[in-house]
Amino acid sequence: MVHQGYLEPQAAVADADGPGHVTVWTSTQALFFARGEVAEALGLPEHRVRVVAMPVGGGFGGKYVLLEPLAAAMAMALRRPVSVVLTRTEEFLATTPAPRAIFDVKTGARRDGRLTALSARVIFDAGAFAGAPLGIACLLLGAWYRFPSLDVRGWEVLTHKPGSGAYRAPGAVQAAFAIESQIDELAGRLGLDPLEMRLMNAVAEGDPMPNDKPWPRIAMRECLERLREPWRAWRREAAPARGGGGVRRGVGLAIGGWVGGVEPASAVCRLNADGSFTVVVGSVDLSGTNVALGQIAAEALGTAPEQVEVLNADTDAAPFAGASGGSKIIYTVGAAVARAAEDARRQVLGVAARKLEAAVEDLELVDGAVRVRGVPGRSVTLREVADLSMGWNGRYDPVLGRGSSAVDARAPGFAAHLAEVEVETDTGRVRPRRHLVVQDVGRALNPAAIEGQIAGAVAQGVGWALLERMAYDEQGRLVSATLMDYALPAADQVPPVESALVEVPSAEGPFGAKGVGEPPVVAAGAAIANAVAAATGRRPTELPISSAAARGAPAEAA
């Protein structure tokens, strides 16, 4: 059982600011969902509830709705502002962490490495309320490889613990640890290279998922192929240290994917009086998505990114957008932004065409001005277009582009991990040395931001694999309820992270982009566990990996 470990605790402020009206300022990932939940809890129509999303100090799926209805109810009852902020101990006791899970997995293969069957029994501890990510885990457990025969069954069990919630690729991390450990074990039993066995059985476009839906265009194989040379090189370098002294070194790999999120979204793009543009969205800028949204708008408009501002409005002013989670903001809101910007550009060209007495198709937008192609002297600036449509004597409609998207085709993303660890033979201490992630990103609109997502995912993977655990004693009491007892990875415990981006464009995403937040965390812990197994010859079967589990005989050279 793992907590999301965000820096800022859950916090909400509410004020009853009118007859039957309430405003909530909150650290939330889901602006409109929070409004709906507050309205339902208080029995108010949604137009009487205003939610303002504040900058979020980390969420990772744990900040959808929790304190907002409580704060709003108290503000309505007291008729004065109310602030509700959790302590760190309350965070561990009363929020929605990632649930504990048990996987009992059997896999079959022919001597040549071709997989034949998967049988699994999966149990999730849902806590006090139903709704653990059991379905996702069961689906993904059998989705990454071609299994001619499948029998995967899952149960969620209700206990006295806090209700479970989402934590960056919910259910997928647990499933990856189970199936990627199995594939490594099978490869070892059959005397096959673990990478080659994965390539032999990896799914591709058109292959059926366990729910019988075909995989769309994916790049699982491309990610594994890109890992081939580093995989061989790292193992050669690690081999001399594998049995030497009091430290053993091991290299492990794993791959994991995320099906990608979908949710309707809308956006508007307006021309300002100074010739700049403002894009208004209802999404929460959880991880720097506003930068990419601005890039999308600038590209669609044909102007410089610095001429575009992205504004995250509240529920009274923003066009609808879904929650910032599930790796879908760029994929869904980005598509709406592109369409809004294209609409605004059409309107700008329409105003300019009438001013210049030229056909729209003969115009181009270059360096902040609309000009007739081939006749640079005939032009009108964006500031002039704005004055023609918003000035006191304006003759044309103000430029306000609108865009929406309701994409129902998902854009799955995969990431392949290569991890190297050192294990102290006497203590069992595991020290990650370096980590490489090869990820399919569709199209890298903002490579620096993507690399940041990957680095953060590896840090969280170290926590899953080696450190983090919400532990309960025999009386059912939480014994890791402070940061003195719950071990989050420190800076010196996270290895240097390298990343390589694979670009296989999605059909629906803006300019081919797809969500990149979830995929890089899925297999991080599994790769570290496989590296520990390679170093020690002992297969870890639980996360986090204890020092006792890490002590074992040296693995045979590959």
Mean pLDDT, all residues of the chain? 95
Is residue 370 within 8 A of residue 352, CB to CB? The reply is: yes
**pLDDT tens digits for 374-399?**
897 899 999 999 999 999 989 999 99
pLDDT average, residue stretch 54-76 = 96
User: Concatenated DSSP letters for 118-151?
Assistant: EEEEEEEEEETSS--THHHHHHHHTTSB--SEEE
Q: Is the pLDDT of residue 290 over 90?
A: yes
| Residue ranges of the chain assigned to CATH 3.30.365.10 | 11-94, 101-260+410-550, 265-405
pLDDT of residue 554: 47
Report helix, strand or coil for 187.
helix
Element (H, E) at 226: helix 220-238
> What is the 8-class DSSP label of residue 362?
G
- Pick from 405, 404, 408, 416: which is nearest to 441 by CA? 416
Per-residue confidence at 245, pLDDT binned at 50, 70, 90? low
**How far is the C-alpha of 315 from the C-alpha of 20, rounded, in Å?**
16
pLDDT of residue 393: 87
- In degrees and rounded to multiples of 5, residue 269 shows phi and psi of -135, 120
What's the CATH number for 11-94? 3.30.365.10
Cα dihedral across residues 335, 338, 344, 349: positive or negative? negative
Q: 2: which 2 tokens?
A: 């793992």
**How far is the C-alpha of 397 from the C-alpha of 386, rounded, in Å?**
10
**How far is the C-alpha of 99 from the C-alpha of 416, rounded, in Å?**
24
**How far is the C-alpha of 419 from the C-alpha of 438, rounded, in Å?**
12
- Pick from 257, 250, 210: which is nearest to 413 by CA? 257
Element (H, E) at 345: helix 334-356
**% pLDDT > 70, the chain:** 98
**How far is the C-alpha of 96 from the C-alpha of 167, rounded, in Å?**
9
- Pick from 67, 68, 75, 70: which is nearest to 16 by CA? 75
**% pLDDT > 90, the chain:** 93
Report helix, strand or coil for 214.
strand
Q: Are strands 375-381 and 369-372 parallel, antiparallel or unpaired?
A: antiparallel
Q: Is the pLDDT of residue 241 over 90?
A: no
Is residue 113 within 8 A of residue 192, CB to CB? The reply is: yes
pLDDT average, residue stretch 117-131 = 97
| Beta strands in 469-537, from DSSP E residues, in sequence order | 497-502
**pLDDT tens digits for 466-498?**
999 999 999 999 999 999 999 999 999 999 999
> What is the 8-class DSSP label of residue 406?
-
Per-residue confidence at 17, pLDDT binned at 50, 70, 90? confident
Strand partners, 53: 26
Our CA dihedral for 399, 334, 502, 224, rounded to 10 degrees, sits at -170
Question: How many angstroms from the chain centroid is the CA of residue 243?
Answer: 38
Burial environment of residue 211 by CB neighbours within 10 A (0 to 12, 13 to 18, 19 or more): exposed
What's the CATH number for 265-405? 3.30.365.10
- Pick from 450, 65, 421: which is nearest to 289 by CA? 450
**pLDDT tens digits for 394-425?**
999 999 999 999 999 999 999 999 999 999 99
pLDDT of residue 310: 98
Per-residue confidence at 552, pLDDT binned at 50, 70, 90? low
Q: Residue for token digits 């609109």?
A: 445
Strand partners, 149: 117
Residue predicted with more confidence, 548 or 337 = 337
Per-residue confidence at 18, pLDDT binned at 50, 70, 90? confident
Q: 30: which 2 tokens?
A: 């889901």
**pLDDT tens digits for 69-89?**
999 999 999 999 999 999 999
Is residue 166 within 8 A of residue 2, CB to CB? The reply is: no
pLDDT of residue 216: 95
pLDDT average, residue stretch 308-334 = 97
Cα dihedral across residues 426, 428, 429, 433: positive or negative? positive
Per-residue confidence at 557, pLDDT binned at 50, 70, 90? very low
Q: Is the pLDDT of residue 558 over 50?
A: no
pLDDT average, residue stretch 58-65 = 96
Report helix, strand or coil for 489.
coil
> What is the 8-class DSSP label of residue 330?
I
Length of the chain measured in residues: 558
Q: 520: which 2 tokens?
A: 């890089």
Q: Are strands 277-281 and 497-502 parallel, antiparallel or unpaired?
A: unpaired
- In degrees and rounded to multiples of 5, residue 167 shows phi and psi of -145, 105
**pLDDT tens digits for 176-202?**
999 999 999 999 999 999 999 999 999
Fold category of 101-260+410-550 in CATH = Aldehyde Oxidoreductase; domain 4 (3.30.365)
Q: Residue for token digits 């369409």?
A: 339
- Pick from 166, 159, 132: which is nearest to 29 by CA? 166
